[in-house]
Amino acid sequence: MIELRPPGVTLETKAQARILLPNHWVKFSDTFPGYLKHVGGKTMRVAKQVQVTYELSWILKEACYIDVNLSNEDTGQKLYPGADDNVYEMLIGLKPGNYYIIPYFPAEQPLYRLDYPTMTPLVADAALKYLGTVKPSDSPYLGNKTGFEAWSLATFRLYLVNELKPVILRVVTEDGVDYEKCTLEFFVNRCQMEEGTPPDNVSPKRIEYLDSLKW
């Protein structure tokens, strides 16, 4: 359900589409909880898709943060699918600035941490505030280009389904700046899915439940 590939690291040995396209196949992991039975363990084909861009910006004081709820909850940004047969493949590009984000799923549970009990992101700690962060240099957006070409370097990717618990992005400004404009650009690949069986020569893209990162 989430991908973050450092720039310069090549995962594929042959050219592949950067996003899901019609007739692409995906396989949802069996680890999805029961309340997400509309996707858990199922193999689906992209029947059709449309690409939608969206931008959110905040001006934050030094060393302050804002929690951005991506879900369709009353306090959320409504960036989740609203139907069981829809999947959002979301790339997130960060415009340059003195800030970073910490992903949580759900609520106060950070996606990226280390084994030792205290090795978890903590904004108030000089060192731990950088643990498991995503910086603008990690997933940049190229605003001088248009369409999907503008997202050629964005590497922070989420796969969102209807009724998924909230994904929270904590946007944090760096020390030493009076105010900082923090801008997140969302490229939403809105896919309508159909359950089925892929051809023998097709290997579906595997989509893991977000909790698979926490062990």
Does the pLDDT at position 14 exceed 50? no
Q: What is the pLDDT of residues 174-204, one digit of tens each?
A: 998 899 999 999 999 999 999 999 999 999 9
Q: Is residue 74 part of a domain?
A: yes
Q: Is residue 69 part of a domain?
A: yes
Q: Is residue 72 part of a domain?
A: yes
Mean pLDDT of 111-119: 90
Q: What is the pLDDT of residues 35-79, one digit of tens each?
A: 999 999 999 999 999 999 999 999 999 989 999 999 999 999 999
The number of domains in the chain is 1
Q: Is residue 27 part of a domain?
A: no
Instruction: State the residue for tokens 């969102």.
Output: 160
Does the pLDDT at position 16 exceed 80? no
pLDDT at 81: 98
Q: Is residue 73 part of a domain?
A: yes
Q: Is residue 176 part of a domain?
A: yes
Q: Is residue 129 part of a domain?
A: yes
Give residue 189's Cα distance to chain centre.
Answer: 12
Work out the burial of residue 115: count CB atoms within 10 Å of its CB; fewer than 13 is exposed, 13-18 middle, 19 or more buried.
Answer: exposed
Identify which has the larger pLDDT, 215 or 30: 30
The C-alpha atoms of residue 95 and residue 67 are separated, in whole angstroms, by 18
Q: What is the pLDDT of residues 127-178, one digit of tens each?
A: 899 999 999 999 988 666 666 666 667 889 999 999 999 999 999 999 988 9
The C-alpha atoms of residue 63 and residue 97 are separated, in whole angstroms, by 13
CATH of the domain at 75: 2.60.120
Owning domain of residue 126: 50-190
Q: Is residue 160 part of a domain?
A: yes
The C-alpha atoms of residue 93 and residue 144 are separated, in whole angstroms, by 13
pLDDT at 21: 95
Q: Where are the alpha helices (DSSP H) in 60-141?
A: none
Cα–Cα distance list, 170 to 81, 83, 87, 146, 184 (Å): 21, 26, 23, 27, 12
* The length of the chain, given as a count of residues: 215
